[in-house]
Amino acid sequence: MFQAMRHFCYRNWCWFLSLACSRDNGLPSMRTLALALVSFILSLLLGTVFAWNKTSPNALIFILVILAVAVGFFCLADWLRRRRARPKESPPPPVYARNHGNTVATSIINLIAIPLLYLYVWYPGLNQDVTTFEIDTVNQAYFPSITLFQRDDWTSQGILDLSRGQPKCFVGWAEPGAPSCELSQSQKLPCDCADRWERSIENYIWQGTSYRTLTLVSSEALLCTVPTTLMLAQAFFWYDSSKAVNDSSHLLSPSFWIAVYDPTLTLTEALENDYTRLSLVNANGMVAINLGLNYRQARGKRPAYDYDLSFSTVPAMDRHCDIGSETAPAYEQCFISLWLQFPTFERQVSTQSYAMSWADVVASAGSWMSLFQIISWIISGLALQR
């Protein structure tokens, strides 16, 4: 079978060469027609490969310009041969064939137009970032995960501690003895979500900076079905004012960095894919956070919420957790209280993609080639043939 296939290919290749090299009375000649067909097929293949790989158009332009010049040169040679031919000589002068002229014209137009279209339309479109926005309304939303960050090299921040007080969490309102949100039926509120806090303080490095972190990992049980429903989260800390003054020469209120992110993501995924960022808040007081729903898909990533955060703070008037104070020694821990709510369930959906996809390029190429075919019919005179 292999021998038969090889013989078939060899026989057809020899026929093609004899056709291309034979003397004929057509204008354009079979030689020019064969070169135009091969060039046209090469232009389509190269354009497809370059668009698929989003390759720079320089090489495509170079190759197709050479092919266009070659086809044009052979057309000029055919025309000059006809001009030099005398009617009484044998063989007779070449006779113009409109269908052959249409083929050559189509090839030349495509060889010129394809690299220009790729340079000015398809290549920029395949590489241009575009973000599309839509607005819709959802019926419910999950409360986010929260991570508190204490920077190791900044002594003006609070000192996270779990030795004397475990973090607290409630949905609806702070009510001791409320059932666990994980066990609560039909989202009966209020419910207790303290078990969603991690039981240890972890060390975390982000962008070369070392932090101590405490995370509340949200779950499917922390579902908000009514806008403005509150989630209250509380964590405890100490503060060393004398060390802060010695290190920075002035006394600041204790603070934490906070990250609020989609519960379907880990902290690292949210930070690395830019679905969250660190925000600095006053730790000694109540911090209200309004959560705007922004469902975003970064290019090449799965979609997730990138919450629009609006902060407001009610600072505490006292600081009874200052282990560095001599005038007002610490007697219990301070705490940061986070009040989170969705003011509305209106959601912005943003998708990041390219201005043109592969399907768009194929559709655009098809429409342009139809136009080129019409132009070729007119130029070659085939459109006027009876």
**Distance in angstroms (rounded) separating the CA atoms of residues 113 and 102:** 16
The per-residue pLDDT for 25 is 53
Q: What is the pLDDT of residue 7?
A: 54
**pLDDT at res. 79:** 72
Predicted local confidence at residue 344, as pLDDT: 96
Look at residue 313 in the predicted model and tell me its pLDDT: 93
Cα(20)–Cα(71) distance, integer angstroms = 13
β 95-96/26-27 pair status:
parallel
Q: Report the amino acid identity of residue 45.
A: L
Cβ atoms 138, 293 nearer than 8 A = yes
What's the rounded Cα separation, in Å, for the pair 349 and 133?
6
The pLDDT of residue 370 is 85
Q: How far apart, in Å, are the Cα atoms of 308 and each of 24, 219, 268, 366?
A: 75, 20, 19, 43
| E strand or H helix at 340 | strand 334-341
Question: Mind listing the domains of the chain with CATH numbers?
Answer: 2-131+359-384 (no CATH), 135-347 (2.60.470)
In this structure, what token pair is assigned to residue 36? Answer: 């135009």
Q: Residue 51 has which token pair? A: 């668009």
CA distances from 19 to 31, 35, 78, 280 (A): 7, 11, 16, 78
Strands 279-282 and 159-160 turn out to be unpaired
Beta bridge partner(s), residue 235:
336
Determine phi and psi for 157, rounding to 5 degrees: -90, 160
DSSP state of 355: S
- 305's CB contacts (< 8 A; 6+ apart) are 144, 261, 262, 275, 293, 294, 295, 296
Q: How far apart are CA 168 and CA 165, in angstroms?
A: 9
Q: What would the two tokens of residue 16 be?
A: 């093609």
Instruction: Give the model's pLDDT for residue 186.
Output: 57
pLDDT digits (tens, 9 = 90+) for 195-236: 999 999 999 999 999 999 999 999 999 999 999 999 999 999
Instruction: Judge whether 158 and 244 are in contact, CB under 8 Å.
Output: no
Phi, psi at 145, each rounded to 5°: -80, 155
Q: Which ranges in the chain belong to alpha helices (H)?
A: 2-21, 30-53, 58-84, 98-117, 123-127, 241-248, 267-272, 358-380
- pLDDT below 70 — which residues of the chain? 1-27, 81-95, 184-187, 326-327, 329, 383-386
pLDDT for position 89: 53
CA distance linking residue 149 with residue 151, whole number of Å: 6
What are the phi and psi torsion angles at 136 (to 5°)? -140, 180
